[in-house]
Structure 1
Amino acid sequence: MNKIDQKTVYTIKALCADMIQKANSGHPGLPLGAAGFTHVLWSQVLNHSAKHPEWINRDRFILSAGHGSSMLYSLLHLYGYGLTMDDLKQFRQLGSLTPGHPEYGHTVGVDATTGPLGQGLGMAVGMAMGQAHLATVFNKPGYDLFDHYVYALAGDGCMMEGISSEALSLAGTLKLEKLIILYDSNNISIEGNTNITFTENVSDRVKAFGFETLTVEDGDNLDEVLAALEKAKTIKGKPKFIEIKTTIGKDSPNEGSESTHGAPLGADNIKALKEKLGLPQEEFYVPEDVYDYLASTQKRVDDLYDAWTSMQDKYFEEYPEMKIVWEQYFNPDFARIFKDNPLFWANKHHNIATRAASGETMNLIKNFAPNFIGGSADLGPSNKTVLNGEGEFSADNYGGRNIHFGVREQAMAAVGNGLMLYGGLKAYVATFFVFSDYVKPMARLSSLMKLPLTYVFTHDSIGVGEDGPTHEPVEQLTMLRAMPNMYVFRPCDEFETKAGWYVAMSSKETPTSLILSRQDLPKMVGSNRGALRGGYIIDDCMSKPDIIIIASGSEVDLAVKAKEQLKDSNLNIRIVSMPCQELFREQSEEYKESILPSCVENRIVVEAGSRLSWGEFVGLKGKYVTMDTFGASGKPADLFKEFHLTVEDVIKAIKEF
């Protein structure tokens, strides 16, 4: 490397220090330690283009250690991704393009929202899987439309998190050779030297997962870094892991100390830093020759992009049928495909578990959506999520659409996010509903990133039965409903299950959680497309209702049967099925008033879950037939009786009015 490379590294370090100091908040340790090897990656190796930030065959860069965001923003500024110097000066300020941790969709050039440690590694694995799958679908001899790499930068904290082991184990099993992990190994965490908690040989662990491991002894030796990166790209048949040994806070007076991890350096220390680096004391200083140099490095990528687009044009000329396939993957209109599709909406069963109805629906969806892909955390037969005849995604067959995640719920959800971030794929993941507790942090990022990933959660209540309270969800509905930008859809029968899948497939920016029963549920006479509005009248009365019963899932049947038993009571009872509170809230005030007229205060909610998410709908005078304790092990019918979730209990609540 030459002098301009060293000057660029020093400029990045000073820029990050100034950003954090001005904000009086941030993490200077990682940028000062990792600026050198990250500069080499971005300038000499990474195929990225500020002119074409959405290029599908660009290399991906995921900053799993998202607290180092100032370094990423500095690079995006220097490479012309649209971040101005004023944006850098607004680091961590309200409304800025430079928030505390990188946010996908908010800042151009950010490939994933990161910050919760380890999740970036899981998303990187998902992106590498997406690349492998689409390469199998589209690449042909002489036309490698998908042949890029996925890079992730992780730190000690990422490697400590359990999700990383799950994700890297899966990546090694799948032999994802386009995945390269850069491990910023500085042996420091917030509480001090990692020796107090973390003494394992990380590279040996990752090697055992199936990675090729390399080591860079000095992360400031730019030539050594480049040699390792170039060697990694030559290794075939397995993912790569490069341990790069660095010093946290490098070149500051407190280098090597945990004090540089998460607090500004201070004015005196920044002055000393710039003196050591031979830079002016001017704040936010970038020499013009640094801008010019980094712009010149992009000529390489400009040429690659032009060659790729030319290749794509020739590809479609030679294989015109693949243009149609491309549109099916990258520009599908699922709302149009399924809205009036009689096969999709057909009801076949009088009694069926909604997990089974979901499985049948998925196997219809896959025929109309070739980019539909996903799997379960070792529960495919129970979740009913296997796509029949579509093959298994494996190291021997990246074209398979059934992904076996193993017992790795956390990595599964992160991989699902990565598949959706990659582009061109419509992904789903699945597990038992009680294990949504494992999934929740990753589902939260789905919602934050506005990724319409579908979560299939089965075994939705004490209907699980004999497995007992450890496997019977109670509070999980409330947990998910409390999450912004998440559709939580709990259908009462086969038709509503199809409605839930329609919502999931047609959603553009909101993930969907489908909450499905283990036990058979009867076909409800009144179920209809009102379910697409989140709540609707499934069984009405002849005049103004005296009582409104609101229910979801298996408990809709309880409400309808209770009304039937009281048909001679002269009570006007309306039954409202509300499979999705979030969709109902999106409706007009007029519609909501037509379903739940404010003048009717006698309301009952019936659901085999916590009452906590129902207050706004049931009101202060309402009553609850809900599940507000943990369950027990026993026959499902005995459990519903034991926990007062029966027709008789609904009738009792009605009579209390």
Structure 2
Amino acid sequence: DGCLMEGVSQEAIGLAGRQELSKLIVLWDDNNITIDGTVDLADRTDQIQRFKASGWHVQKIDGHDPEAIDTALMAAKKANKPSMIACKTHIALGSSAQDTSKGHGALTDPQLIADTKKVYGWSADEFEIPASIKSAWEDIGQRGATDRQEWEERLSSVSSNKQNEFHRVFAGKIPKKLTSVIRTFKKQMSENPQKVATRKSSEMVLNAINPIMPETVGGSADLSGSNNTRSKDMDVFDTVTRHGRYIHWGVREHGMAAAMNGMALHGGIRPYGGTFMCFTDYARPAMRLAALMKVPTVFVMTHDSIGLGEDGPTHQPVEHLAISRSTPNTHVFRPADTIETAEAWEIALSSNHTPTVLALSRQGLPAVRTIHKSANLSERGAYVLADSEDKRQVILIATGSEVSLALEARTALQAEGIGTRVVSMPCMELFAEQDPSYRKRVLPGGASVRIGIEAGVRQGWDRWLLGERGREAKSDFIGMSGFGASAPANTLFEHFGITTQAIIERVKALL
């Protein structure tokens, strides 16, 4: 009862009904009890009509009658739509806590347990499984043996190439071609640098990746044209196109993220889905569970800062990078250009136990990687993008759209004889995993000024500004300290002081 009050339940119910997901059967334990008391304390929804309204096959049975349950399941399997079986039950049946909220977990009183066992006619000791029950379970467990054997015979009958591909996909391994495809793509981009939004960069990468990875399934929460998540080769998944690999999730961020986790847990599928970065607020419970369950779901989050412009502070994420970065076992990438975006995708699709958040810009960003490197530089989380030409006095650390600002500031500072290093840090989590010697090479100690630059809040940055040999008197952060505003992107960056000139002035003040 309580689960059906959660908003995500309606997202799932509506989507399953629309897509006619006939393999889905939901048994509703209709006991009219929640933790606080009876359901009518908080809800009066007619759940049967609710499911019917969303296009489900619905049945109502006695949830304590095994034959009724069996009959209902058989009928559900024959239905050409998702099925809900409303099972009317009594919580804590046979105990003194029956039909009360105590039935949820307060059944620890020895006398209550003894009385309940007496009602059930249960005489076995604690943790003892009677032989007759154990034998029945073992017989049930054998039912699938023949089906399994027949399936293995069918698999062995196909070509070795198809068998190898099947095992590759279910093992979560990337195809051998992926590395060479990414390298070729990067070389093309470095030779023909373009100013594009990294959400567009992502689409360009997907157009190269998806044709060689048939296991990818993309989608968007009603923002396909903005998230750029559909590649040219992808057909839409629908009732008459089950082969399609692109899902229109509708405005269902939580449902999308939760379903993608289920797809990743099933195996054989690499799911990714997009929405605006600010709407990670809606997807957050499932994003956290992806990290907790160690599944490699990819969350494509575009419009990653005040750079989205006129939609204003309701849509401008400022704290969301920090929220995702604070989540254990999560890789958050904020690429600076198309090449870093390609490297981020390669890492995300190579992961088997860690979800990825791709924070991508709405606005066009200039290319910052114009010299081809075969190595995946983003793989180490941060790297020296441009080093000082004179004695190093300044280290500028930036991510995403602010990396180009750091490079512009470096050019101006170098012209004045102020040696400046620019570090691009697309993924803090991966940089933190590097050995101390590498981190020290990228962020050495000494008297250098150290400034972090990102159009988000400071939280999470102090490790790199004050730790890792940094000094508080010589460090600062240029970014956001509050919410954004509604205006063109350039106006907003000027208003909030995230500019090349602001970086230069802050460097000189600290020097």
State the TM-score, normalizing by the size of structure 2.
0.94
Matched-pair contact (CA < 8 Å) for 2:20–2:239: yes
Mapping of 1:422-571 within 5 angstroms?
422-525=266-369, 529-542=376-389, 545-571=392-418
Please say if 1:625 is aligned against 2:465. no
| One-letter identity of the residue aligned with 2:504 | I
1:418 to 253, 256, 262: 262
TM-aligned CA deviation for residue 188 of structure 1: 0.6
Percent identity, aligned pairs only, is 38
Matched-pair contact (CA < 8 Å) for 2:124–2:130: no
Please say if 1:167 is aligned against 2:12. yes
Deviations 1:293-348 (A, max 9, x none): 1112223222222232233334x1xx666435424533464274322334332314
Deviations 1:40-92 (A, max 9, x none): xxxxxxxxxxxxxxxxxxxxxxxxxxxxxxxxxxxxxxxxxxxxxxxxxxxxx
1:640 to 493, 498, 502: 493
CA 1:623 to 1:170, structure 2 compared with 1: closer, same or farther past 3 Å? same
Question: In 1, distance between residues paired with 2:127 and 2:172?
Answer: 44
Matched-pair contact (CA < 8 Å) for 1:545–1:600: no
Matched-pair contact (CA < 8 Å) for 1:183–1:242: yes
Deviations 1:241-283 (A, max 9, x none): 1010111111111111001213343111111111111122732
Question: In 1, distance between residues paired with 2:309 and 2:68?
Answer: 59
Specify the SS of the correspondent of 2:310.
helix
Question: In 2, distance between residues paired with 1:259 and 1:601?
Answer: 63
Alignment correspondent of 1:340: 180
TM-aligned CA deviation for residue 613 of structure 1: 1.1
CA 1:576 to 1:335, structure 2 compared with 1: closer, same or farther past 3 Å? farther
Query: How many correspondences in the alignment?
Result: 497
Matched-pair contact (CA < 8 Å) for 2:392–2:448: no
CA 1:564 to 1:542, structure 2 compared with 1: closer, same or farther past 3 Å? closer
Specify the SS of the correspondent of 1:393.
coil
| One-letter identity of the residue aligned with 1:266 | D
Please say if 1:215 is aligned against 2:36. no
CA-based RMSD:
1.7
Matched-pair contact (CA < 8 Å) for 1:387–1:401: no
Mapping of 1:604-623 within 5 angstroms?
604-619=451-466, 620-621=472-473, 622-623=475-476
Mapping of 1:9-408 within 5 angstroms?
156-216=1-61, 218-235=62-79, 237-280=80-123, 282-314=125-157, 316=158, 322-323=162-163, 325-327=165-167, 329-331=169-171, 333-334=173-174, 336-341=176-181, 342-345=183-186, 346-347=188-189, 348-408=192-252
CA 1:538 to 1:320, structure 2 compared with 1: closer, same or farther past 3 Å? closer
TM-aligned CA deviation for residue 525 of structure 1: 4.3
CA 1:331 to 1:286, structure 2 compared with 1: closer, same or farther past 3 Å? closer
Specify the SS of the correspondent of 2:322.
helix
1:577 to 412, 424, 430: 424
Deviations 1:107-150 (A, max 9, x none): xxxxxxxxxxxxxxxxxxxxxxxxxxxxxxxxxxxxxxxxxxxx
TM-aligned CA deviation for residue 371 of structure 1: 1.0
Question: In 1, distance between residues paired with 2:267 and 2:445?
Answer: 44
Gaps of 5+ in 1: 1-155
Question: In 2, distance between residues paired with 1:493 and 1:627?
Answer: 21
Deviations 1:633-655 (A, max 9, x none): 01111100111101111112101
CA 1:327 to 1:278, structure 2 compared with 1: closer, same or farther past 3 Å? closer
CA 1:577 to 1:220, structure 2 compared with 1: closer, same or farther past 3 Å? same
Question: In 2, distance between residues paired with 1:463 and 1:311?
Answer: 53
Structure 1 residue runs of 4 or more that deviate by more than 4 Å after TM superposition: 525-528
Question: In 2, distance between residues paired with 1:297 and 1:324?
Answer: 32
Question: In 1, distance between residues paired with 2:123 and 2:165?
Answer: 55
Matched-pair contact (CA < 8 Å) for 2:413–2:420: no
Matched-pair contact (CA < 8 Å) for 2:296–2:352: yes
| One-letter identity of the residue aligned with 1:326 | F
Question: In 1, distance between residues paired with 2:462 and 2:410?
Answer: 22
Deviations 1:488-523 (A, max 9, x none): 000011111111111111112111111111111011
Alignment correspondent of 1:59: none
Question: In 1, distance between residues paired with 2:237 and 2:250?
Answer: 12
State the TM-score, normalizing by the size of structure 1.
0.73
| One-letter identity of the residue aligned with 1:202 | Q
Question: In 2, distance between residues paired with 1:202 and 1:287?
Answer: 38
Alignment correspondent of 2:469: none
Deviations 1:349-404 (A, max 9, x none): 32111110100101110111011112000101111111213211001111001110
